[in-house]
Structure 1
């Protein structure tokens, strides 16, 4: 079993948590920013990017708050990626919190750039860019 590096990111987003949740938890929402196309059958999500296909299993989700998925390739490993909505209790500012894993520091840099691009797409879709 290889050891991966866990990394976390925070993106402030001007959107209501309930709207944001639709974009992080449903195939139609995820296909607007995360992948070219997303299908789900039960707890199995299929993500399609320019002809390549990856599958992930739903580990857990909490309505209005977060979704946690594990790539099928990592099925026997403790790794996952989580997209979580965080609301500041005082200011009510909304942030999208990303937790992901990468093989090495180069992968972390690449992964972070990928998330930045995807969340930028999400902000455009939400009209909050």
Structure 2
């Protein structure tokens, strides 16, 4: 994971912040849109897709607002990379959006962004925000 580029994406979500937080912070919520299956043991999460899995540690969270996972290596040690999901609420319009912060290799940046777009599309479908 050397030399990854940090990027941010923002997606409008037609949902209450409370409902959205359940889908970004719990294994059951995440397994409905983010991965095929999500297992957790305390602060340690395993995200499973078809034939691959990623391990991450719940690094920080602020109830109803944001969650941050730090990727772990094969020895279950923290790496320097993480991904974050922030729920943003416009003060005036009360519009809700989800800010994604992630890292990708330069060669994989566009593919990573597309993957997030597809996953957020699944999230919107699951919560009825389409």
CA deviation after TM superposition for structure 1 residue 18, in Å: 0.2
Once superposed, what is the RMSD of the aligned Cα atoms?
1.5
Counterpart for residue 54 of structure 2 = 54
Gaps of 5+ in 2: none
Alignment of 1:48-87 (within 5 A): 48-73=48-73, 75-87=77-89
Aligned-partner Cα distance in 2 for 1:29–1:73: 24
Which one has the bigger strand percentage? 2
Calculate the TM-score normalised by the size of structure 1: 0.94
Count residues with an aligned counterpart. 128
Gaps of 5+ in 1: none
Counterpart for residue 97 of structure 1 = 99
Counterpart for residue 108 of structure 1 = 109
Q: Which runs of 4+ in 1 moved over 4 A?
A: none
Name the stretch that deviates more: 14-23 or 74-83.
74-83
Counterpart for residue 27 of structure 1 = 27
CA deviation after TM superposition for structure 1 residue 3, in Å: 2.2
Aligned-partner Cα distance in 2 for 1:78–1:72: 9
Aligned-partner Cα distance in 1 for 2:56–2:67: 12
Calculate the TM-score normalised by the size of structure 2: 0.93
Please list the CA deviations of residues 11-38 of structure 1 after superposition, one character each: whole Å capped at 9, or x if unmatched.
Answer: 0000000000000000000000000010
